[in-house]
Amino acid sequence: MTSAEEEILTEDVQRDIALDDTMKARLLQETDAIIARYFEMEDPRGSPRGRGTAYRRRREGCPALWHLGRLDRAEDGTLTIVDYKTGGLPNRNYDSQTFANAELYAALCEAQLGERPTKIRLMYVAHGQSIERPVSEVVVNARAQAAAGAWSRITRYYNDGDFPATPSTNACRFCAFKDLCRSNGVAVPDAKS
């Protein structure tokens, strides 16, 4: 067993996620393949790379604690947000949601560092492919306002003592509270579907 396995897959973690021997063997095999593919994508010993960092910041009144996968500074001084993705590639006509989280990171970076990253790179490490998009002031401001709107609604619900259910395919698919959900009459997808 390697030190990384010992550090991450502790007995507590394995028990919490109900990881049996078969699942663990598959997890390690997939992880090996992803790491091998990542090293085909880039050599981290090359040009200086940014590091993952946890940040805590307010933007537009919205408090946020987030973990940034990587922030690279290029030789020309510009910043690039790098986000690692272990899932499937988006289809060629990827929609605005593909970059939504990273664009919010860009807004938070601007609030934290006083400097707006100029580019986002999503590294699909299971597939050996990256996609990139420039960061614009318009997009960053829109993401910041969306986060502020969500925080405003949370604050209002908290003060009202009443949180309405807001079903969505992505959220409901992995929700652990379906049994308690009061989204009456709304189809909630099964986690296996």
Q: Which residue shows structure tokens 């709107």?
A: 149
- The whole-angstrom separation of Cα 129 and Cα 138 is 27
The stretch among 40-48, 125-133, 154-162, 164-172 that binds ligand SF4 (CB under 6 A) is 164-172
Count of other CB atoms within 10 angstroms of residue 113: 13
Task: Give least dist CB 180 to ligand SF4, A.
Answer: 7
> Under the criterion CB under 6 A, does residue 189 sit at the interface with ligand SF4?
no
Backbone angles phi, psi at 172, to 5 degrees: -70, -30
| Distance in Å, CB of 191 to ligand SF4, minimum | 10
Among 177, 190, 192, 193, contact with ligand SF4 (rule: CB under 6 A): 177
Smaller CB separation from ligand SF4, 21 or 190? 190
Name the one range near ligand SF4 by CB under 6 A: 55-63, 72-80, 145-153, 177-185: 177-185
170 is a contact residue toward ligand SF4 (CB under 6 A): no
How does 120-138 read in b/e, with b if 16+ C-beta sit within 10 Å? bbbbbbbeeeebebebeee
Minimum distance of ligand SF4 from residue 157's CB (angstroms)? 13
101 near ligand SF4, rule: CB under 6 A: no
Beta bridge partners of 80: 72, 119
- Among 115, 167, 169, 191, indicate the residue that binds ligand SF4 (CB under 6 A): 167
C-alpha to C-alpha distance for 122 and 77, rounded to whole angstroms = 20
**CA-based end-to-end distance of the chain:** 34
* Residues near ligand SF4 (CB under 6 A): 165-167, 171-172, 175, 177-178, 181, 183, 188
